[in-house]
Amino acid sequence: MSQVVQLENVSFEKASGVGEKNTWIFELPAEVCRNEGYPFGTMVSLTVKGGGIQTTIIRPSTEIDDFVSRIVDEDKEFFKEMKRIGD
């Protein structure tokens, strides 16, 4: 699965004023998470620096996973009905 994505620079505040940082954060598609064994909701940070690209995998926190699991369990029938009618 390949596709071209248009990126824009991200501005950020730093102590000496406003600067730019060539970093982008993407949520990995569910298919990629499944294929690579990452939990759903995993993100990747891409930074262009020193003539190369640095990457960092950002896994969802267990706190978020626990919260989502609890909500899904509590409202299982609701989510089942949403799936049945097509969200």
pLDDT, tens only, 43-63: 998 888 889 999 999 888 877
In angstroms, rounded to a whole number, what is the distance separating the alpha carbons of residues 11 and 8? 9
Residue 6 near residue 14, CB atoms below 8 Å: no
The pTM of the full predicted model, rounded to 2 decimals, is 0.54
Residues 6+ apart with CB under 8 A from 56: 44, 45, 47
Widest distance between CA atoms in the chain: 54
Residue 5's pLDDT band (cuts 50, 70, 90): confident
**Helical segments of 1-87, H only:** 30-36, 62-74, 76-85
